[in-house]
Structure 1
Amino acid sequence: MKVVTAIIKPFKLNDVHNVLHAMGVSGMTVTQAKGHGHAKGHSEVLGEVEYVAHFISKLKIEVIVPDALASSVVKAIMISARTGREGDGKIYVTALDEVYKISTGAVGAKAL
Structure 2
Amino acid sequence: MKKVEAIIRQEKVEEIKAAIDQEVTINGMTVSQVLGCGLQKGQKSHVRGQEVITTLLPKVSVSFILADEEVKQVIELILEICQSEECGTGKIFVYPIEEVIRIRTRETGKAAIQ
Instruction: Identify the TM-score tier after normalising by the shorter chain.
Output: over 0.9
Q: Please, which runs of 5 or more residues in structure 2 have no aligned partner? A: none
Relative to structure 2, which stretch is displaced further, 82-91 or 59-68? 82-91
1:68 corresponds to which letter in structure 2?
E
Q: Please, which runs of 5 or more residues in structure 1 have no aligned partner? A: none
1:87 corresponds to which letter in structure 2?
G
2:52 corresponding residue in structure 1: 51
What does 1:20-39 align with in structure 2 at a 5 Å threshold? 20-22=20-22, 23-39=24-40
2:8 corresponds to which letter in structure 1?
I
1:47 Cα deviation after fit: 3.7
1:5 corresponding residue in structure 2: 5
Q: How many residues align?
A: 112
Q: Give me the TM-score of the superposition, normalised by structure 2.
A: 0.92
1:46 Cα deviation after fit: 3.0
Matched, 1:108 2:101: no
1:26 Cα deviation after fit: 1.3
Q: How much identity, in percent, do the aligned residues show?
A: 29
CA-atom RMSD in angstroms: 1.1
Relative to structure 2, which stretch is displaced further, 11-20 or 39-48? 39-48
